[in-house]
Structure 1
Amino acid sequence: MNRSIPKNYNSNINDWLGKLFFFILLPGFFWSVAGLMYVTIPDRYRTEVDFRARAVRTDGIVTKKNQKTTCYGGGLGCSSSCDVTVKFQTDWGKTIVFSNSCTSAKENQTVPVLYDPDSSPVKARIDIGDSPDSRRTNDFILSFIFVLFGIGSLVAGFSIYETKHTQD
């Protein structure tokens, strides 16, 4: 009894996996991220408004800037990370040191710092001059971009499968 696999079996499996990826998994991922971002925008906005209402602004000094780039497999891709360490004094004289994502600030440069004196001052951050409204707008735009990526993956899937079927 000869139980050989039909020649087009692998092609059918690959076709099915490709459709699953382009029409369900990839758009689903992008749309899930966009939906999660969109749903959490009001909570993040409220949290930011509350923080700004209690925050105290002071000056801090960048004590260290740590920038690292890692490249993979002979230049196939690189990733970089950057953070700064900032030191400041609270209104009651306590010295606080915290890390923040990278800015254009250099070591020993004075930067504006926002901190909530009622909560942990270690949760302080460099004031980059944005507002809760601008953050909300940026979050909305980013979630919209993820929706567009989801639509783009559908378009790419249709394009690939339309081209494949016209070549067959």
Structure 2
Amino acid sequence: MQACGNGNRVAFEAVYRATSSRLFGICLHYSDDRAEAEEVLQEVYIMAWVKASGFDPRLGSAMTWLSTMARHKAIDRRRAHRNHDPLETIPEATSQDSLVDTLEREQQGSQLDRCLETLEEAQRRYIRVAFFEGYSYAELAERHGIALGTMKSWIRRGLLRLRVCLGL
């Protein structure tokens, strides 16, 4: 990756050959279809070429760096598509029961928001990132410079408090 950061295209080709199948698997895992995964993979390699000079091998391997970019890019892409679905795909309420179900789900969401607000700022932030954005405990711990066991404990205690608040 350091050679790629210096503009070495031969090195970049070697990186691509060594990593593309695994990264494509990651993209495919998080994407809805093959074409979407291919587009995500292309974006990952563009990002890698542009950001290669910032790669620091002391922080992790090139494969870990690329895998993390692929995972995040695929999740971001999926989230963006999910948030911009056309109105025609939203089901209409067809009966009184479905309207009641919809209102109950909205009420539960509001209750969850209220309960999240009772947590400490760090717990709330880590729980949201872990469960709503798909980050693993290990990724969060590494990203924020916190021991993995500490991260797991913080999130677990927060989840226990949420459970009590939600009456589960």
TM-score, with structure 1 as normaliser: 0.23
Bigger proportion of residues as strand: 1
Larger radius of gyration: 1
TM-score normalised to structure 2 length: 0.23
Higher helix share goes to which structure? 2
